[in-house]
Amino acid sequence: MTAEDKATELPKGNTKDLKKYFSDLINDILHLEKGVDKKQTITEIKSKQSMSGANAWMLMCSIMIASIGLNLDSQAVIIGAMLISPLMSPILGIGLGVAINDKNALYHALLHFSAAIIIALVTSTIYFFVTPIDDLTPEITARTAPTFLDILIAIFGGIAGILSIARKDIATTLPGVAIATALMPPLCVAGFGLANAEWEIAIKAFYLFFLNTFFVAFATYVILRRMRFPYKVYSSPRERKKNIMFISVFSIMMIIPSILIFKTVFIKYQRKEKLKTFIEKAFTEDDSNYIDGYKLYPPENPDRLILKVYGTRINKSRIPELIEKLYVCGLSEIKSIEIISTTEIDLNKVNQMRADLSGLEDKLSTQLNQLTQENQLLFNSKNEAAIKEDFFSLDSTKFVKITQDLKLFYPDIQALSIAVTDYTDYKNTKSKMPAIILKFDKASDEQQEAIRSYIAKQYNLDTLKLVREM
């Protein structure tokens, strides 16, 4: 057994030995100074914080790439931009300057950090001013609601960042830290706000950037003090107390707005989940197919639900019932419901309906093929009367509903009728066959088959002939 194995072997002694073993283990886990070259760490942070020359160009390129990614709503492009950004270094430099009481290092870090902000804002503002695409994409919107959770990300990102610099064996984590803390995209969004005169967006995005920056630097300060980095200039107890007081007060000032924003975001999230529950409980699956969209209005303090629906299946007569279900689902603040009819066709829903009909046909066809010929004849003989009775009765109410549904999805249909035809296969076999007569000049083969399948499904028919009227 090697000396290393002996060191890690559990002691076989009394309780005192076990306590000492676990105490040493915990101390070893929390011992951050192990393997840290303090002098080299300070030198490296100072050398990389400069925002001149190549670093300035790297920052400019990364800001341009991130701005394009935000503009195109491409998360992959934004992540790529963050990987090449040198923005983390001057922030670590600020934390270092405060931690070791090096006012000269702090001054230079703040100077380079300010230069980085100017470069980023100018580059992103010029891009968003010039580009013809000025949509407020989800990636841009996501950087305008800083919350308390962003503080946690910044703190743990800052801890990982300074450890990756101080410990050479884990230096590969720094690119991941740059992505996690997301320092650069908020600056680009601030540029978007400036370019489009959207001052609220610019302020919120810059606040998110400053929030992340402060707590990354704060985490750096805490870890460096925990590692007992030497002060460059002796700090008296009074001066240390003054610094801690300043950092504490500033931290609280930074945290309060984020908590308030988080509260607002959380309330909106709860309201969204309650609304989703309401839609599931208030409408059947068939009714849901007629809902094109829904939203609460106004966005901040909503008191009205707007339903956008197809046709007249969901109409104003149901409003009292729906308001009662809103109350049950915890949305008592919603006092009214507005139902707006639309003639727009949601192609996704049309395609889904066609896919469902096609899938149903395939399933029935597969099941029928698995039966023997004898069972098929038995099945047909038992069900023929019921099937024909339903179709041959030509229920006008049902027919009206079917024609309304088809007209909704195929506005160019000119006429539709259903009938019972005499059928012979010229083998002395005569029978009655259900048929539909369709007048639809622009109908493709796919559309005709979709219409035939839909009507067959509504009348539970396994055989239905479609005749095209020219």
- Determine the pLDDT at residue 349: 54
Q: Does residue 277 lie in a domain region?
A: yes
Check whether residue 99 and residue 173 sit in a common domain: yes
Structural domain tally of the chain?
4
Please give the Cα distance from 170 to 225 (Å, whole number): 20
Q: Which of 192, 216, 234 is the last residue of a domain?
A: 234
Residue 252 placed within a domain: no
pTM (2 d.p.):
0.57
74 and 182 fall within a common domain: yes
Do 327 and 358 reside in the same domain of the chain?
Answer: no
Check residue 4 and give its pLDDT. 46
CA dihedral angle for residue 106, residue 111, residue 115, residue 116, rounded to 10 degrees: 0
Same domain, 126 and 67: yes
CA distances for 73 relative to 78, 138, 159, 161, angstroms: 9, 7, 30, 27
Residue 240 lies in a domain: no
CATH number reported for the structural domain that contains residue 116 in this entry: 1.20.1080
Same domain, 312 and 439: no
Low-confidence ranges of the chain (pLDDT < 70): 1-35, 168-181, 234-235, 299, 311, 342-397, 422-431, 470
Same domain membership, residue 58 and residue 177 = yes
Do 271 and 141 lie in one domain? The reply is no
Q: Say yes or no: 126 and 12 in one domain.
A: no
My answer on whether 332 and 292 are in the same domain is yes
Evaluate whether residue 280 is within a structural domain.
Answer: yes
- pLDDT value at position 125? 93
Q: Looking at the domain assignment, is residue 6 inside a domain?
A: yes
Same domain for 221 and 125, yes or no, is yes
Last residue of a domain, one of 329, 344, 359: 344
Q: Are residues 392 and 452 in the same domain?
A: yes
Residue 170 in any domain: the answer is yes
Domain contains 248: no
Q: Print the domain residue range for 460.
A: 348-468
Q: Which of 344, 378, 407 is the last residue of a domain?
A: 344
- Does residue 130 sit in the same domain as residue 67? yes
- At 354, which CATH number? 3.30.300
Alpha carbon distances (Å) from 417 to 76, 289, 299, 396, 414: 54, 25, 47, 11, 11
Give 251-298 pLDDT, tens digit per residue: 787 777 777 777 777 788 888 888 888 888 887 777 777 777 777 777
Please indicate, yes or no, if residue 202 is contained in any of the structural domains. yes
